[in-house]
Amino acid sequence: MAKLTDYLPSFEEQNILVLGDMIADEFIIGQPERLSREAPVLILRHTGHKILPGGGTNAANNVAALDGQVYLAGVIGDDIVGEKLVNNLKADGMITDGLIVDNSRPTSVKTRILAGGGQTVKQQMVRVDKLETHDISKEIEDKLISYVEEVITEIDALILSDYGNGVFTDRIKAEVVAIANKHNKIIAVDSRYELMSFKGITIATPNKEETEKAVGFKLKSANDIEKAGWKLKKALGSKAMLVTLGGEGMQVFTDNGTTHIPASNYTEVFDVTGAGDTVIATLTLALASGAGMVEAMKISNYAAGIVVKKSGVATTNREELAEIIGDAQ
């Protein structure tokens, strides 16, 4: 029987198209100096600024960190934030030809202002979101669909990363899934608000809250989880459904039945931010590398167990993953 680590060397041979809502995570960092005379607020002396990949680009970042080749497709604005985000993605080796500039909307950006001294943990004081959620135009749809058609024979799997920012119109969902299925590609979906609208996919990875919203009832027991998983799999016509349950682990539903596994390293959780992106990235790479659904779930569970021990939106790599998996099957 194959060990889980046997699939990791093949990660670097996989080409993954990440299509979805591209979001820049902007961090403005300052050191507290005094209270303002204008209002009861702190005055911060600016000490740092960075733009990191968020939304769909964080899923892509996780694939790249595990040595998969990333193709990106989505929408950015004609602005400095979008330009910096694309430059960062290119620097990490991602192929950004499918990022379409839409002059009618800004690049989606979540700006966090952090405060703290040089040797202290930085605390988030406020977050400002600059997001457009209206549907993309037919012209942008045409460009994205053309790009998917152009690269579909070069890729091994698609990740559809839906944060509700307007990329996934009915047409985009229907045509992209149809193109991928025509070429027998793996289609993995992470949808925050519209999971039930993705039909004919390979697998989706909703968390507990997203599952409850999709099925319309709370997951209070193991029986509820089973009922929800099968309901989602049937409704989406998917080959499998992976429900992530935080500290309660993960459960996958396939044509062969259902398997539940406990969370990896849950006693050492520091920060769960971005763990869902790690799960779908690792799961997709594992499936593309020939792992079965249960094996892929186990590998992604180990990956999530690594990133939740790290601060902020984190990634893992194949070396860390191999070490934590060990000889597990």
Query: pLDDT tens digits, residue range 2-11?
Result: 799 999 999 9
DSSP state of 156: S
Does residue 170 carry a catalytic annotation?
Answer: no
Q: Write out pLDDT tens, residues 47-83.
A: 999 999 999 999 999 999 999 999 999 999 999 999 9
Chain mean position to CA 243: 14
Cβ atoms of 275 and 247 closer than 8 Å: no
> How would DSSP label each residue in 74-115?
EEE-SSHHHHHHHHHHHHTT-EEEEEEE-TTSPPEEEEEEEE
Catalytic residue among 102, 142, 277, 327: 277
What tens digit of pLDDT does each residue of 274-324 get?
688 999 999 999 999 999 999 999 999 999 988 887 766 678 898 999 999
pLDDT interval class at 263 (50, 70, 90): confident
pLDDT-derived band at 267, boundaries 50, 70, 90: low
C-beta atoms surrounding 26 within 10 Å: 22
What digits encode the pLDDT tens for the residues 240-253?
A: 999 999 889 999 99
What angle separates helix 275-288 from helix 293-307, to the nearest 10 degrees? 150
pLDDT band (50, 70, 90) for residue 101: very high
Whole-number mean pLDDT of the chain?
92
pLDDT (tens digit per residue) in 104-162? 999 999 999 999 876 777 888 999 999 989 999 999 999 999 999 999 999 999 999 99
In order of start, what are the domains of the chain with their CATH numbers? 4-24+65-107+132-325 (3.40.1190.20)
Residue 71's SS3 state is strand
Note the pTM of the prediction, 2 decimals.
0.93
Instruction: Give residue 268's pLDDT band: very low, low, confident or very high (50, 70, 90).
Output: low
Output DSSP code: residue 212. Answer: H
Query: By three-state DSSP, how is residue 244 classified?
Result: strand
Q: Is the pLDDT of residue 264 over 90?
A: no
For the record, the structure tokens of 185 come out as: 């590609």
Amino acid letter for position 261 = I
Say what the pLDDT of residue 308 is: 81
| 270: confidence class by pLDDT, cuts 50, 70, 90 | very low
